[in-house]
Amino acid sequence: MENKPSPQPPPDEAQSETRTNPPLHVTVARGSIADVVAPVVVVGSYQGIAPAGALKALDDEIGNWISRAIDQSMVGAELGQVFFVPVPEKQIRAKSILLAGMGEYGRFSYHDLRYLAMNIGLALSGLKVCQFATVLIGSGEANLKV
């Protein structure tokens, strides 16, 4: 009987490539999200709830466009939905807003936050955005603990 070498699985392409992850830089700041200089600012939005907190601050600055869009059912806020709002007239210091759907008010959990963060990451990656600003999504009054 001949001894044949056992077949080896092909090398995993992901393992054979040398991958370097880009550095992650985090800056913590206090103030209005409308004053942040960034390509995109990300804020959470609850289903069926008028803009409040950071979202209201942005909405006020852009002439209440977000409120009108919500009223006209143009913008969804189901858990995981994201909606991109360009800001071409420079009413805020960011170039655009990404609305992040948090689902029904009072039901947002840490698990939901992880899912939403994944969708935010996928959306920003698809738009080739390397830098963004966000508030602590879900940390508003009577919500998740910081």
pLDDT digits (tens, 9 = 90+) for 113-128: 999 999 999 999 999 9
Question: Over 70: is that where the pLDDT of 9 sits?
Answer: no
Question: Over 90: is that where the pLDDT of 143 sits?
Answer: no
Strands across the sheet containing 96-104: 82-86, 96-104, 41-47, 133-134
Tell the burial category of 39 from Cβ atoms under 10 Å away from its Cβ (0-12, 13-18, 19+): middle
Question: Over 70: is that where the pLDDT of 15 sits?
Answer: no
Fold exhibited by the domain 32-132: Leucine Aminopeptidase, subunit E; domain 1 (3.40.220)
For the whole model, what pTM was predicted? 0.82
| Contact between residue 121 and residue 24 where contact means Cβ atoms under 8 Å apart | no
Distances (CA, A) of 131 to 15, 27, 136: 27, 11, 16
Using DSSP's 3-state secondary structure scheme, residue 66 falls into helix
How many CB atoms neighbour CB 98 within 10 A? 21
Question: Over 70: is that where the pLDDT of 20 sits?
Answer: yes
What's the rounded mean pLDDT across residues 29-57? 94
pLDDT for residue 23: 82
pLDDT for residue 56: 96
